[in-house]
Chains A and B, each alone.
Chain A
Amino acid sequence: MFENLFSYLEFPFVRYALITGVMISLCSSLLGVTLVLKRFSFIGDGLSHVAFGAIAVASVFNLSNRMIVVMPITVLCAVLLLKTGQNAKIKGDAAIAMISVGSLALGYLLMNIFSTSSNLSGDVCSTLFGSTSMLTLSKSEVIFSIILSAAVILIFIFFYNRIFAVTFDEEFASASGTIAKNYNLLIAVVTAVIIVIAMKLVGSLLISALIVFPALSSMRIFKSFKSVTIFSAVIAAVCSCSGMIISVLAGTPVGATIVAVNAAAFGVCWLIGIIIGRSAK
């Protein structure tokens, strides 16, 4: 089996896919800690549906570079969702349900009416659940995702202390001179970017898993923000790497395999958390 694996690793596109996958899951897990703690995970969920709609629009116009359409639409919706989510007068969650289900339906409708492809349901399925093989990524796509994920990771490290301050206590942060609004905006925009690049890997329906699982697993075991953040990055990298290898060897769909491995890791962390809790008493 290992020989089999090594023979796969000989191919550069397999290595590219692995590197891209790990980078993408690293940055979604970093942001995931903040999104979960700020109760912003709904934004991630809503946005992934928006991105699906945007992809449908892009494919209708038959654009060679879909990012030109998908990225701005998703970022714009991230800002809108953030605004409505904070506005207590409009029911935030209802607005999000509206936007996300609306764009899901619109996306499918557009694809159905305008699609020139002979394999419509295959197209829809791979946009929703990730392409069956990550291995079809072109070199330029790989470089694009790696640059964006590296940028996200750098931004996160650079603003780490501020992100903590704003996540822990927004009122105190704004009272003492940190402009919390700007950081909320930054978080929403970066989330949108991550979702767009992660669509390739796991598809739009499964992205939330990449964001939420590592953070929740890590919070079972660790109790300081720093250790939770670092450990969730580690879990994310390990899970996505092993998920991709399993999917290559076993021929399972990449996205679903990665999410399944993440779910298993959550189970393990949950158990460890219980054991630590018991022995501490």
Chain B
Amino acid sequence: MALITVSDLTFGYDSRKIVENLNFSVSSGDYLCIVGENGSGKTTLMKTLLHLKEPISGEILIGSGLKKNEIGYLPQHTAVQKDFPASVWEIVLSGCQGRCGLRPFYNKDDKNIALNNMERMGITSLASRSYRELSGGQQQRVLLARALCATRKLILLDEPVAGLDVKAASEMYKLIAELNNEGITIIMISHDIAAAAKYASHILHIGRTVFYGSTEEYLSSDIGCFFLSQQKGVS
């Protein structure tokens, strides 16, 4: 069953088009990895999928089984002000907002979900710390825990391992794969093509050439081979 169907989508800023006539679809249970160079429009695409930005033209159809409050999101940059007073606990718990419906306050279940996700991300001991006083990697974990709280069917991750150390990054990939095994659909932006090849079921490559297909198809395509060899050259 298609969760998200994108047809003839053109997106960008104001009138400047970044990618034109994009077509792909994400089914329930898929693990889609979006790759491409810096500035190719990955973050913009994700924001357009989330309706945070209006598309220039084309359509994004959301399957009937998916409600907005079942979606988790990890932004690449949060425009959080330097002096914002907020504790880690408050931030992670705010991820449960979508579960509340009309209920004004969080209940026991919400708090347990927040606690579990903090444990998963290894930030339980930071609970009462102030967000603005954490290191970049710690902040990333807090935002991941918040995204996990909001996730019930679909999670969109914009470079989830940016800022994480090697061990945390590989644990992160395992965690995402676990979520996927539990039936949660994943859409992830990553520059780590090796991880994408290992875990993703589908790959969307955007840039001057656009490719969408299963991971095997991508790895045997010209553009996939080229991109992979480029990355090997670096590492």
Decide yes or no whether B78 CB sits under 8 A from chain A. Answer: yes
The interface residues of chain A lying within 8 Å CB-to-CB of B69 are 176-178
Which of A168, A175, A219, A224 is B83 in contact with, Cβ under 8 Å? A219
**Contact indicator A168/B84 (Cβ below 8 Å):** yes
Contact A219 B97 (CB under 8 A): no
Most A CB within 10 A of own CB, among B94, B128, B150: B94
Q: Most chain-B CB neighbours within 10 Å: which of A37, A173, A174, A224?
A: A224
Contact indicator B104/A161 (Cβ below 8 Å): yes
Inter-chain contacts of A177 with B (CB < 8 A):
67-71, 97-98, 150
Contact A223 B130 (CB under 8 A): yes
Whether A161 touches B73, Cβ cut-off 8 Å, given contacts A174-B52, A223-B130, A228-B85, is no
B52 touches A171 (CB 8 A): yes
Cβ distance A266 to chain B, nearest Cβ, rounded Å: 15
CB neighbours of A158 from chain B (8 A): 104
Question: How far, in whole Å, are A161 and B86 apart by their CA atoms in the complex?
Answer: 12
Q: For the side of the interface on B, what is the size category?
A: 35 or more
Contact between B52 and A225, CB atoms less than 8 A apart: no
CA distance A160 to B67 in the complex (A): 23
B95's nearest neighbour on chain A, judged by CB, is: A176
* A165 beta carbon closer than 8 Å to chain B: yes
Residue of A nearest to B101 (CB): A177
Q: Is the CB of A176 within 8 A of B52?
A: no
Q: Of A39, A172, A173, A224, which one neighbours B87 at CB under 8 angstroms?
A: A224
CA–CA, A35 and B194, complex, Å: 45
- Whether the Cβ atoms of A175 and B81 lie closer than 8 Å is no
Is A222 in contact with chain B by the CB < 8 A criterion?
yes
B175 within 8 A of A: no
Could you say which of A173, A174, A219 contacts B85, with CB atoms under 8 Å apart?
Answer: A219
Pairwise interchain contact B52-A178, C-beta atoms closer than 8 A: no
Interface residues of B (CB under 8 A from A): 47, 50-52, 67-73, 75, 78-81, 83-87, 89-91, 94-95, 97-98, 100, 104-106, 128, 130, 132-133, 146-147, 150, 156
Chain A interfacial positions (CB closer than 8 Å to B) = 37, 39, 157-162, 164-165, 168-169, 171-178, 219, 222-228
Q: List 13 A-B contacts (CB under 8 A).
A: A165-B94, A168-B84, A168-B91, A168-B94, A169-B78, A169-B80, A171-B75, A173-B94, A176-B69, A176-B71, A224-B130, A225-B86, A228-B85
